[in-house]
Amino acid sequence: MKIHGLNTGFFKLDGGAMFGVVPKSIWNKLNPADENNLCNWAMRCLLVDDGERKIIIDTGIGSKQDEKFFRHYYLSETKDLRDLVKEKGYSADSITDVFLTHLHFDHCGGAIIREGDKLVPAFPNSTYWSNEKHWDWATKPNEREKASFLKENILPLEESGKLKFMKYEQGAFLTPDISVRFVDGHTGAMMLPQIKYKGRTIVYVADLLPSAAHIPIPYVMAYDMFPLTTLQEKKSFLEEASANNYILFFEHDPVIECCELQITDRGIRSGRTFKLEDL
């Protein structure tokens, strides 16, 4: 198996929203805000090649939105996901699966591209994976969350005929080496892939833990739909991850790509940090 981290660039979000009830005097030391209270965040995807299937996990924000949309997020150092795939020696046509943890625009925007006046899959030979519970959640969004679910990112997946659903059950498998963990605090039925690699388990933690700074249990985003559920899910996951020496792969941490965990007198915290390529 080969695994590649692909950073499609950075965007900015409000620091207070990203850290919830944690005071700025604390979180600003972890990810310093600019003069507008905005912090920089990465948009990392994964490319997994198991010898038979070539799987993309999440796709970043993409490039098809208009300038007005992108002005809100101060994008920088952006790269087309297909170009990053090509840099690793693959073509867009060779990708067999695109696994979407959830359908917020910064996670699935790159799944669909604009070709002329049409919206089409960026990876034309891929099966696109979501789950029925989350699909229903995203296509019939609540008022608080609907700005994160953009129809142009979502509906063309269904129209393409390439959309399939994972079963909503803990321990479901995408491949024999990739199991799926479902969590519901951030949004309905978000999927976290857990990858067996070199005798270890790598967990793509998506928005359960947007960054290493979010490992302390109370550090929960204001964006989360059900913060008390997130608290319980984080506690359970971190205890399991610590006990089993999991590697956490961060989608949004602006600096840290991967970390191990350690037990401290303050609870579970990040331990050794490193890039996936150094594993």
Stretch 165-191: mean pLDDT = 96
* Distance in angstroms (rounded) separating the CA atoms of residues 120 and 40: 29
pTM: 0.96
With a cut of 90, say whether residue 142 has pLDDT above it.
yes
The 10 Å Cβ neighbour count of residue 13 is 20
Tokens of 78: 């952006």
The 10 Å Cβ neighbour count of residue 127 is 16
Which residue do the tokens 């790509």 mark? 257
40-98 tens-digit pLDDT: 999 999 999 999 999 999 999 999 999 999 999 999 999 999 999 999 999 999 999 99
Count up the domains in the chain and report the number.
1
Tokens of 79: 């790269």
Residue 13 confidence (pLDDT)? 98
With a cut of 90, say whether residue 112 has pLDDT above it.
yes
Sorted by sequence, the CB contacts under 8 Å of residue 113 that are 6+ apart come out as 62, 63, 64, 119, 120, 121, 122
Sorted by sequence, the CB contacts under 8 Å of residue 79 that are 6+ apart come out as 7, 8, 9
Task: Compute CA distances 250 → 57, 146, 167, whole Å.
Answer: 12, 24, 24
* Distance in angstroms (rounded) separating the CA atoms of residues 221 and 226: 10
Distance of CA 183 to the CA centre of its chain: 13
Stretch 89-111: mean pLDDT = 98
Range of the domain at 197: 2-278
Do 112 and 119 contact (CB within 8 A), yes or no?
A: yes
Do 172 and 164 contact (CB within 8 A), yes or no?
A: no
Stretch 210-230: mean pLDDT = 98
Q: Which run of H or E residues covers position 86?
A: helix 81-87
Tokens of 66: 């208009």
Tokens of 65: 């939105």
* Distance in angstroms (rounded) separating the CA atoms of residues 121 and 98: 10
* CATH assignment at residue 25: 3.60.15.10
Q: Residue 25 carries which side chain, given as an amino acid letter?
A: S
Do 177 and 196 contact (CB within 8 A), yes or no?
A: yes
Q: Residue 259 carries which side chain, given as an amino acid letter?
A: C
The 3-state DSSP class for residue 215 equals coil
With a cut of 90, say whether residue 171 has pLDDT above it.
no
Tokens of 142: 């609540």
Nearest Cα residue to 128 out of 162, 158, 105: 162
Radius of gyration of the chain (CA): 18
